[in-house]
């Protein structure tokens, strides 16, 4: 927490941004974004210098491995990126949330104004579905233990919109901090009973998004997608310079893999939007529904009571994939062939039990051939069994490998979005230019909206300008 007066003096000090960025250019870009956020706040809201404000950065994430595994109880290997949302917020003395994005000609989110209520009306298709879902759920869960007051929020974002880097989850987490911090939600006994650490908070915020209950905190209508907690977990727990390994349902932190200094991650947002509550929602939910149908068919056939595909795998650890597939094919013999439930199970098993552990081992050994081969298989399985790889993403992955990337894959929910390429640092500039040129030639229409950037694992969400001077 700081005051607007102090923030005006601190906002140009580059030292505040060193934890968010890796290079002087990135620090300069973050400084510029924060100055625009402050200017937006001054334009829309009461900006008297004594007002207390809270400033947060909430990053996006890259899913290195773990394609649609989290809600099935599997593992993910993930990293936070150095792009995301910068926001400042303060209580406004009303019961309204008033929210405005930087107005610099690129704003993607029109201003919004809505009440703090457990009965908010919202639905898929409008960007306010995300902040309204968060505010509605916090009001439902905590309004009897905390006197929730409305907040004024100004924010800016340097993530590609619909880019598969978890911008929607980051927006919801930003909204949570913007409301919860000024209202001192963490001081409530109900909060302290249910949310003991950042892993708990990540699981709760994921439940807000998908509408499920978490411990005492009753569920309500989510944003319309049936997902897991991978994004929220990494955004709140990621470590700078590390690939993080988590298992889900419940969330368990398994390991950290140190990033290699000589490598960088090139990212390309394809220009094909992957917005989970718009065009991609039905496709995204179908992948989750197929996982549920696998478990349902297995339970019906073998009189088990499982919730997750992981539990089928763990039923008898001695069973090999062919044996499990035989059991699955028998259990799903009456299912719709077009759902390919054995294929959905195969993708989960291979990603979770073979590719992720073998990749972690290859990473530690610096076995570049194994890394590339394993991540190629992950990408191909996503295309073959999840059906979430669009032609632009497939071309970008193949062209990255042809240009010499150590490894490359589409990532995130799919159905558009982005591709990463693991490359040597000393060839990064020329690689990015050749990658961009090839994409422009093959997919000129999508390429006009594409973005190419470089990153390495960045820090998790954090409060900034705490007691700044």
Q: pLDDT (tens digit, 9 = 90+) per residue, 95-154?
A: 999 999 997 655 678 999 999 999 988 777 789 999 999 999 999 999 999 999 999 999
Q: How far apart, in Å, are the Cα atoms of 354 and each of 64, 78, 203, 245, 393?
A: 15, 17, 26, 14, 23
Question: Is residue 120 classed as helix, strand or coil in its secondary structure?
Answer: coil
Which tens digits make up the pLDDT trace of 356-399? 999 999 999 999 999 999 999 999 999 999 999 999 999 999 99
Q: What is the CATH number of domain 261-455?
A: 3.30.70.890
User: Could you tell me which residues are beta bridge partners of residue 265?
Assistant: 422, 455
CA dist., res. 307 & res. 290, Å (int): 13
| pLDDT for res 468 | 57
Its CATH architecture, for the domain 2-255+458-464, is 2-Layer Sandwich (3.30)
| pLDDT for res 278 | 54
Question: Is residue 154 classed as helix, strand or coil in its secondary structure?
Answer: strand
CA dist., res. 277 & res. 215, Å (int): 26
Instruction: Compute mean pLDDT per 10 residues along the chain, 469 residues long, and list them.
Output: 93 91 90 96 93 97 97 97 97 97 74 94 83 96 94 96 91 98 97 97 96 94 81 97 96 97 97 69 85 98 97 93 97 96 98 98 97 98 96 98 98 91 97 98 95 95 83
Q: Where are the domains of the chain?
A: 2-255+458-464, 261-455
Cβ-Cβ contacts under 8 Å for 292 (sequence gap 6 or more) = none
CA dist., res. 401 & res. 435, Å (int): 10
Same fold, 2-255+458-464 and 261-455: no
Which uninterrupted H or E stretch holds 6?
Answer: helix 4-10
> Which percentage of the chain shows pLDDT scores above 90?
86
Please list the helix, strand and coil fractions of the chain in percent, rounded to the nearest 5, in that order: 45, 20, 35
Q: Which residues of 133-165 are buried (b: 16+ CB within 10 A; e: fewer)?
A: bbbbbbbbbbeeebebbbbbbbbbbbbbbbbbb
Q: Which residues of 280-318 are buried (b: 16+ CB within 10 A; e: fewer)?
A: bbebbbbbbebbbbbbebbbeeeeeebebbbbbbeeeee
| pLDDT for res 414 | 84
| pLDDT for res 161 | 84
């Amino acid at each position: 927490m700081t005051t607007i007066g102090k923030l005006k003096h601190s906002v140009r000090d580059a030292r505040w941004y060193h934890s968010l960025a890796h290079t002087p250019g990135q620090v300069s870009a973050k400084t510029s974004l924060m100055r625009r956020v402050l200017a937006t706040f001054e334009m829309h809201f009461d900006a008297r210098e004594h007002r207390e404000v809270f400033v947060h950065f909430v990053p996006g994430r890259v899913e290195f491995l773990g394609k649609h595994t989290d809600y099935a109880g599997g593992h993910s290997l993930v990293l936070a990126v150095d792009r995301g949302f910068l926001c400042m917020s303060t209580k406004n003395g009303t019961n309204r949330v008033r929210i405005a994005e930087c107005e610099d000609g690129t704003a993607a989110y029109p201003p919004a104004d809505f009440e703090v209520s457990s009965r908010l009306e919202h639905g898929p298709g409008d960007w306010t579905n995300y902040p309204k879902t968060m505010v509605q759920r916090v009001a439902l869960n905590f309004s009897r233990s905390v006197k929730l007051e409305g907040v004024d929020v100004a924010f800016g974002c340097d993530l590609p919109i619909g880019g598969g880097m978890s911008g929607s989850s980051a927006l919801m987490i930003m909204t949570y901090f913007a409301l919860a911090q000024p209202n001192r939600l963490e001081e409530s006994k109900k909060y302290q009973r249910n949310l003991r650490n950042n892993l708990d908070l990540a699981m709760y915020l994921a439940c807000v998004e998908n509408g499920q209950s978490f411990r005492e905190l009753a569920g309500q209508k989510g944003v319309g997608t049936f997902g897991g907690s991978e994004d929220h977990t990494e955004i709140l727990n990621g470590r700078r310079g590390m690939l993080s390994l988590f298992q889900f349902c419940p969330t368990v932190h398994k390991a950290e893999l140190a990033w290699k200094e000589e490598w960088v991650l090139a990212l390309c947002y394809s220009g094909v939007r992957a917005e989970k509550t718009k065009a991609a929602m039905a496709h995204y939910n179908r992948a989750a529904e197929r996982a549920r149908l696998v478990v349902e068919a297995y339970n019906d056939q073998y009189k088990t009571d499982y919730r997750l595909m992981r539990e089928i795998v763990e039923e008898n650890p001695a069973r090999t994939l062919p044996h499990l597939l035989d059991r699955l094919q028998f259990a799903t013999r009456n299912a719709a062939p077009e759902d390919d439930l054995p294929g959905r199970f195969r993708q989960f098993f291979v990603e979770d039990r073979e590719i992720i552990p073998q990749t972690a081992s290859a990473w530690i050994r610096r076995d570049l051939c194994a890394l590339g081969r394993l991540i190629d298989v992950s990408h191909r399985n996503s295309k073959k069994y999840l059906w979430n790889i669009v032609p632009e993403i497939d071309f970008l992955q193949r062209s990255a490998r042809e240009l010499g990337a150590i490894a490359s894959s589409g990532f995130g929910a799919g159905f558009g979005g982005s591709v990463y390429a693991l490359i040597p640092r000393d060839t990064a500039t020329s690689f990015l230019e050749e990658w961009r040129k090839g994409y422009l030639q093959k997919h000129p229409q999508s390429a006009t909206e594409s973005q190419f950037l470089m990153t390495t694992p960045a820090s998790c969400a954090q409060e900034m300008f705490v007691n700044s001077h």
